Amino acid sequence: MNANDVAVMGCAPAWFQVTLLLPVGASVETARRLMRDVDAAAKSVGVAVTGGHTEVTPVVQQPVVAGDMQGVARKGELVTALGAQVGNLLVCSKAAALEGTAILARTYPQDAARVLGPTKARRAARLHRRPGISIVPEALLAARMGATAMHDPTEGGVRAGLAELAYASERGLEVDLDRIPLLPETVALCTHFGVDPLGLISSGMLLATVPEEVWPSLQQAWARSGVVGQCIGRVVAGRGVRAFQAGKRIRWYWSEQDELARLFEKKTPVPTRRHAAKSRQ
Protein backbone atom coordinates (compact mmCIF):
# COMPACT_ATOMS: atom_id res chain seq x y z
CA MET A 1 0.00 0.00 0.00
CA ASN A 2 2.97 2.32 0.52
CA ALA A 3 3.84 1.91 -3.15
CA ASN A 4 0.23 2.56 -4.13
CA ASP A 5 0.20 5.81 -2.17
CA VAL A 6 3.20 7.06 -4.13
CA ALA A 7 1.98 5.79 -7.50
CA VAL A 8 -1.38 7.61 -7.28
CA MET A 9 0.65 10.84 -7.26
CA GLY A 10 2.17 9.90 -10.59
CA CYS A 11 5.51 8.91 -9.03
CA ALA A 12 7.26 5.62 -9.68
CA PRO A 13 8.01 4.18 -6.21
CA ALA A 14 11.74 3.64 -5.83
CA TRP A 15 12.98 3.42 -2.24
CA PHE A 16 11.52 1.92 0.93
CA GLN A 17 12.60 2.08 4.57
CA VAL A 18 10.95 -0.33 6.95
CA THR A 19 10.45 -0.33 10.72
CA LEU A 20 9.94 -3.82 12.13
CA LEU A 21 8.66 -4.10 15.71
CA LEU A 22 8.74 -7.59 17.24
CA PRO A 23 7.22 -8.82 20.51
CA VAL A 24 9.44 -10.14 23.28
CA GLY A 25 10.30 -13.76 22.56
CA ALA A 26 10.11 -13.48 18.76
CA SER A 27 12.72 -15.58 17.01
CA VAL A 28 15.45 -14.41 14.68
CA GLU A 29 13.86 -16.57 11.98
CA THR A 30 10.61 -14.60 12.34
CA ALA A 31 12.50 -11.39 11.63
CA ARG A 32 14.29 -12.97 8.68
CA ARG A 33 11.06 -14.33 7.24
CA LEU A 34 9.29 -10.98 7.51
CA MET A 35 12.19 -9.15 5.89
CA ARG A 36 12.32 -11.71 3.09
CA ASP A 37 8.62 -11.02 2.49
CA VAL A 38 9.22 -7.26 2.53
CA ASP A 39 12.11 -7.62 0.09
CA ALA A 40 10.09 -9.82 -2.28
CA ALA A 41 7.12 -7.44 -2.20
CA ALA A 42 9.40 -4.46 -2.84
CA LYS A 43 11.14 -6.13 -5.76
CA SER A 44 7.78 -7.03 -7.32
CA VAL A 45 7.10 -3.30 -7.87
CA GLY A 46 10.68 -2.32 -8.68
CA VAL A 47 11.50 -0.88 -5.25
CA ALA A 48 14.77 -1.15 -3.31
CA VAL A 49 14.73 -1.57 0.47
CA THR A 50 17.35 1.00 1.47
CA GLY A 51 17.25 0.96 5.25
CA GLY A 52 15.09 0.84 8.33
CA HIS A 53 14.98 -0.21 11.95
CA THR A 54 14.30 -3.47 13.80
CA GLU A 55 13.38 -3.60 17.47
CA VAL A 56 12.10 -6.07 20.06
CA THR A 57 9.63 -4.30 22.35
CA PRO A 58 7.04 -5.27 24.99
CA VAL A 59 4.73 -2.63 23.50
CA VAL A 60 3.52 -5.00 20.74
CA GLN A 61 1.95 -8.45 21.04
CA GLN A 62 2.55 -9.44 17.42
CA PRO A 63 4.94 -8.26 14.69
CA VAL A 64 4.21 -4.76 13.36
CA VAL A 65 5.67 -3.61 10.04
CA ALA A 66 5.57 0.07 9.08
CA GLY A 67 7.34 1.78 6.24
CA ASP A 68 8.12 4.93 4.34
CA MET A 69 8.12 4.92 0.53
CA GLN A 70 9.68 7.52 -1.76
CA GLY A 71 9.48 8.13 -5.47
CA VAL A 72 10.45 10.84 -7.93
CA ALA A 73 8.23 12.88 -10.23
CA ARG A 74 9.28 15.50 -12.74
CA LYS A 75 8.42 19.07 -11.92
CA GLY A 76 4.87 19.85 -13.00
CA GLU A 77 3.90 16.18 -13.41
CA LEU A 78 2.73 15.47 -9.87
CA VAL A 79 -0.88 14.20 -9.77
CA THR A 80 -2.95 15.16 -6.73
CA ALA A 81 -6.55 14.60 -5.68
CA LEU A 82 -7.11 18.33 -6.19
CA GLY A 83 -6.84 18.03 -9.96
CA ALA A 84 -10.25 16.61 -10.86
CA GLN A 85 -12.07 18.86 -13.33
CA VAL A 86 -15.78 19.19 -14.07
CA GLY A 87 -16.53 17.03 -17.11
CA ASN A 88 -13.83 14.46 -16.36
CA LEU A 89 -14.89 10.82 -16.33
CA LEU A 90 -14.60 8.84 -13.11
CA VAL A 91 -13.00 5.45 -13.81
CA CYS A 92 -11.71 2.49 -11.84
CA SER A 93 -9.45 -0.50 -12.32
CA LYS A 94 -10.02 -4.16 -11.43
CA ALA A 95 -12.84 -4.65 -8.90
CA ALA A 96 -13.98 -3.43 -5.51
CA ALA A 97 -13.20 -5.24 -2.25
CA LEU A 98 -10.42 -7.49 -3.59
CA GLU A 99 -8.41 -7.32 -0.39
CA GLY A 100 -11.54 -7.52 1.75
CA THR A 101 -12.70 -10.65 -0.06
CA ALA A 102 -9.31 -12.30 0.44
CA ILE A 103 -9.39 -11.43 4.15
CA LEU A 104 -12.89 -12.85 4.55
CA ALA A 105 -11.91 -16.10 2.81
CA ARG A 106 -8.73 -16.47 4.89
CA THR A 107 -10.31 -15.43 8.19
CA TYR A 108 -13.39 -17.65 7.87
CA PRO A 109 -12.19 -20.55 5.69
CA GLN A 110 -15.02 -22.91 6.64
CA ASP A 111 -17.68 -20.36 5.75
CA ALA A 112 -15.89 -19.57 2.49
CA ALA A 113 -15.68 -23.24 1.51
CA ARG A 114 -19.35 -23.76 2.31
CA VAL A 115 -20.47 -20.68 0.35
CA LEU A 116 -18.09 -20.86 -2.62
CA GLY A 117 -16.94 -24.46 -2.72
CA PRO A 118 -13.33 -25.46 -1.92
CA THR A 119 -11.77 -24.43 -5.24
CA LYS A 120 -13.33 -20.96 -5.43
CA ALA A 121 -12.68 -20.42 -1.71
CA ARG A 122 -8.95 -21.03 -2.24
CA ARG A 123 -8.98 -18.66 -5.21
CA ALA A 124 -10.79 -16.00 -3.17
CA ALA A 125 -8.24 -16.33 -0.38
CA ARG A 126 -5.48 -15.46 -2.85
CA LEU A 127 -7.08 -12.42 -4.46
CA HIS A 128 -4.54 -10.25 -2.62
CA ARG A 129 -1.92 -11.95 -4.79
CA ARG A 130 -3.88 -12.51 -7.99
CA PRO A 131 -4.93 -10.10 -9.40
CA GLY A 132 -3.21 -8.53 -6.39
CA ILE A 133 -3.54 -5.32 -4.43
CA SER A 134 -0.83 -3.33 -6.24
CA ILE A 135 -2.15 -0.53 -8.45
CA VAL A 136 1.30 0.77 -9.39
CA PRO A 137 1.23 -0.25 -13.09
CA GLU A 138 -2.22 1.16 -13.88
CA ALA A 139 -1.65 4.31 -11.80
CA LEU A 140 1.59 5.15 -13.61
CA LEU A 141 -0.08 4.48 -16.97
CA ALA A 142 -2.99 6.72 -16.02
CA ALA A 143 -0.62 9.48 -14.90
CA ARG A 144 1.34 9.36 -18.16
CA MET A 145 -1.86 9.51 -20.21
CA GLY A 146 -3.38 12.52 -18.47
CA ALA A 147 -5.22 11.46 -15.31
CA THR A 148 -6.19 14.58 -13.36
CA ALA A 149 -6.66 12.93 -9.95
CA MET A 150 -6.16 9.45 -8.49
CA HIS A 151 -6.96 7.68 -5.24
CA ASP A 152 -6.59 4.15 -3.86
CA PRO A 153 -9.58 3.16 -1.71
CA THR A 154 -8.49 1.16 1.33
CA GLU A 155 -10.27 1.10 4.71
CA GLY A 156 -13.92 2.02 4.28
CA GLY A 157 -13.89 0.64 0.75
CA VAL A 158 -15.06 2.35 -2.40
CA ARG A 159 -17.64 4.35 -0.46
CA ALA A 160 -14.97 6.02 1.67
CA GLY A 161 -12.64 6.34 -1.32
CA LEU A 162 -15.24 8.22 -3.38
CA ALA A 163 -16.10 10.49 -0.46
CA GLU A 164 -12.40 11.26 0.10
CA LEU A 165 -11.81 11.97 -3.59
CA ALA A 166 -14.83 14.30 -3.77
CA TYR A 167 -13.75 16.14 -0.62
CA ALA A 168 -10.12 16.51 -1.72
CA SER A 169 -11.01 17.69 -5.22
CA GLU A 170 -13.70 20.09 -3.98
CA ARG A 171 -15.92 18.77 -6.78
CA GLY A 172 -19.03 16.67 -7.08
CA LEU A 173 -18.96 13.04 -8.24
CA GLU A 174 -21.90 11.38 -9.96
CA VAL A 175 -21.52 7.63 -9.55
CA ASP A 176 -23.48 4.74 -11.08
CA LEU A 177 -23.23 2.09 -8.36
CA ASP A 178 -24.36 -0.61 -10.80
CA ARG A 179 -21.19 -0.05 -12.84
CA ILE A 180 -18.74 -0.62 -9.98
CA PRO A 181 -17.18 -4.04 -10.70
CA LEU A 182 -17.65 -6.79 -8.10
CA LEU A 183 -16.38 -10.36 -8.42
CA PRO A 184 -18.98 -13.12 -7.91
CA GLU A 185 -16.93 -14.40 -4.95
CA THR A 186 -17.15 -10.98 -3.33
CA VAL A 187 -20.91 -10.78 -3.79
CA ALA A 188 -21.43 -14.28 -2.42
CA LEU A 189 -19.27 -13.82 0.69
CA CYS A 190 -20.63 -10.36 1.46
CA THR A 191 -24.19 -11.63 1.15
CA HIS A 192 -23.37 -14.52 3.47
CA PHE A 193 -21.79 -12.30 6.12
CA GLY A 194 -24.27 -9.44 5.69
CA VAL A 195 -21.65 -6.82 4.81
CA ASP A 196 -21.67 -4.11 2.15
CA PRO A 197 -19.02 -4.90 -0.50
CA LEU A 198 -18.70 -1.19 -1.32
CA GLY A 199 -17.70 -0.52 2.30
CA LEU A 200 -15.12 -3.33 2.39
CA ILE A 201 -11.39 -2.60 2.22
CA SER A 202 -10.59 -2.24 -1.48
CA SER A 203 -6.81 -2.17 -1.92
CA GLY A 204 -6.18 -3.26 -5.50
CA MET A 205 -8.66 -0.86 -7.10
CA LEU A 206 -7.63 2.51 -8.52
CA LEU A 207 -10.08 5.41 -8.68
CA ALA A 208 -9.12 8.08 -11.22
CA THR A 209 -10.57 11.07 -13.00
CA VAL A 210 -9.57 11.51 -16.64
CA PRO A 211 -10.57 13.77 -19.55
CA GLU A 212 -13.30 12.09 -21.59
CA GLU A 213 -11.15 12.02 -24.73
CA VAL A 214 -8.36 10.19 -22.85
CA TRP A 215 -10.46 7.33 -21.50
CA PRO A 216 -10.69 5.08 -24.60
CA SER A 217 -6.90 5.06 -25.01
CA LEU A 218 -6.30 4.54 -21.29
CA GLN A 219 -8.80 1.69 -21.11
CA GLN A 220 -7.08 -0.01 -24.04
CA ALA A 221 -3.64 0.53 -22.49
CA TRP A 222 -4.83 -1.01 -19.24
CA ALA A 223 -6.32 -3.96 -21.13
CA ARG A 224 -3.03 -4.58 -22.92
CA SER A 225 -1.34 -4.81 -19.52
CA GLY A 226 -4.00 -7.20 -18.21
CA VAL A 227 -5.97 -4.66 -16.17
CA VAL A 228 -9.73 -4.30 -16.62
CA GLY A 229 -11.02 -0.73 -16.48
CA GLN A 230 -14.54 0.60 -16.07
CA CYS A 231 -16.11 4.07 -16.28
CA ILE A 232 -18.37 4.48 -13.25
CA GLY A 233 -19.35 8.15 -13.38
CA ARG A 234 -18.15 11.68 -13.92
CA VAL A 235 -17.01 14.83 -12.16
CA VAL A 236 -19.70 17.51 -11.84
CA ALA A 237 -20.06 20.95 -10.30
CA GLY A 238 -20.84 21.05 -6.60
CA ARG A 239 -19.55 19.03 -3.68
CA GLY A 240 -19.91 15.45 -2.48
CA VAL A 241 -21.11 12.20 -4.04
CA ARG A 242 -24.39 11.72 -5.88
CA ALA A 243 -25.17 8.03 -6.23
CA PHE A 244 -27.42 6.40 -8.82
CA GLN A 245 -28.75 2.86 -9.00
CA ALA A 246 -31.07 1.41 -11.61
CA GLY A 247 -31.12 4.86 -13.20
CA LYS A 248 -32.47 6.59 -10.08
CA ARG A 249 -30.69 8.77 -7.58
CA ILE A 250 -30.45 7.12 -4.17
CA ARG A 251 -29.28 8.21 -0.75
CA TRP A 252 -25.50 8.19 -0.48
CA TYR A 253 -23.75 7.10 2.70
CA TRP A 254 -20.28 6.09 3.76
CA SER A 255 -18.51 5.23 6.99
CA GLU A 256 -14.99 5.61 8.36
CA GLN A 257 -15.42 2.15 9.90
CA ASP A 258 -14.61 -0.63 7.47
CA GLU A 259 -17.14 -3.41 7.07
CA LEU A 260 -14.49 -5.87 8.31
CA ALA A 261 -14.26 -4.09 11.65
CA ARG A 262 -18.03 -4.17 11.98
CA LEU A 263 -18.08 -7.89 11.16
CA PHE A 264 -15.25 -8.71 13.59
CA GLU A 265 -17.26 -7.09 16.37
CA LYS A 266 -20.01 -9.66 15.77
CA LYS A 267 -18.14 -12.73 14.53
CA THR A 268 -14.82 -13.71 16.11
CA PRO A 269 -12.09 -14.36 13.52
CA VAL A 270 -11.03 -18.01 13.21
CA PRO A 271 -7.38 -18.52 14.31
CA THR A 272 -5.01 -19.62 11.55
CA ARG A 273 -3.01 -22.84 11.94
CA ARG A 274 0.06 -20.78 12.91
CA HIS A 275 -1.81 -18.90 15.64
CA ALA A 276 -3.45 -22.09 16.84
CA ALA A 277 -0.05 -23.76 17.13
CA LYS A 278 1.30 -20.83 19.16
CA SER A 279 -1.68 -20.95 21.52
CA ARG A 280 -1.14 -24.69 22.13
CA GLN A 281 2.50 -24.03 23.02
Question: Hey, where are the domains in the chain?
Answer: 2-72, 81-266
Give the DSSP H or E segment for 4: helix 2-7
Model-level pTM? Answer: 0.90
pLDDT-based confidence at residue 281 (cuts at 50, 70, 90):
very low
Mean pLDDT of 12-31: 96
State yes or no: pLDDT of 158 exceeds 80.
Answer: yes
Q: Look up residue 171 and give its amino acid.
A: R
Which of 193-202, 217-226, 271-280 is the least confident region?
A: 271-280
State yes or no: pLDDT of 276 exceeds 60.
Answer: no
State yes or no: pLDDT of 127 exceeds 80.
Answer: yes
Q: Cis omega before residue 13 (within 30°)?
A: no
pLDDT-based confidence at residue 277 (cuts at 50, 70, 90):
very low
pLDDT-based confidence at residue 271 (cuts at 50, 70, 90):
low
pLDDT-based confidence at residue 80 (cuts at 50, 70, 90):
confident
Q: What CATH code would you report for 81-266?
A: 3.90.650.10
Superfamily of domain 2-72: PurM-like, N-terminal domain (3.30.1330.10)
Residue 267, pLDDT score: 82
Contact 173, 162 (CB under 8 A): yes
The neighbouring-strand residues paired with 208 are 91, 150
State yes or no: pLDDT of 185 exceeds 50.
Answer: yes
Number of C-beta neighbours around residue 24 at 10 A:
10
Integer Cα distance of 210 and 121 in angstroms = 35
